[in-house]
Amino acid sequence: MMLADQEIVKRPLITEKAERAREAAQQYAFEVHQDATKIQVKNAVEKLFSVHVTAVRTSVARGKNKRVGKNIGRRPNWKKAIVTLKEGETISLFEGA
């Protein structure tokens, strides 16, 4: 399945854990499309942000069960990608946050 770069990378993840990884190891976290592969994520990040990616780690976060009154529902599963950049490169989107 062919996905556009904007469809693969949905949004950046700005959390305390992601901030520590960014400062310590040049790693950035993104929410990505459920069907995206590591190679597709690497190519999309390189095109969107004009950087060189050295490694990509992905994981699927399982949706939590949620309850509202008597009704029980479930949040959807989503995929997270941790992208490691070449030494000395940054993504300016994260620097202002």
* Domain parsing of the chain, residue ranges: 5-87
The Cβ of residue 81 has, within 10 Å, a number of other Cβ atoms equal to: 25
| CA 46 remoteness from chain centre | 13
Helix (H, G, I), strand (E, B) or coil at 65: strand
Q: For the whole model, what pTM was predicted?
A: 0.86
Paired residues of 32 in beta bridges: 9, 79
Reading the block at residue 7, the tokens are: 């469809």
Q: For the segment 25-65, what is each residue's pLDDT rounded down to a tens digit?
A: 999 999 999 999 999 999 999 999 999 999 999 999 999 99
For residue 75, give every residue at least 6 positions away whose Cβ sits within 8 Å of its Cβ, in sequence order, or none: 63, 64, 65, 66
CATH class of the structural domain 5-87: alpha beta
Cβ atoms of 54 and 69 closer than 8 Å: no
Please, what is the average pLDDT of the chain? 91
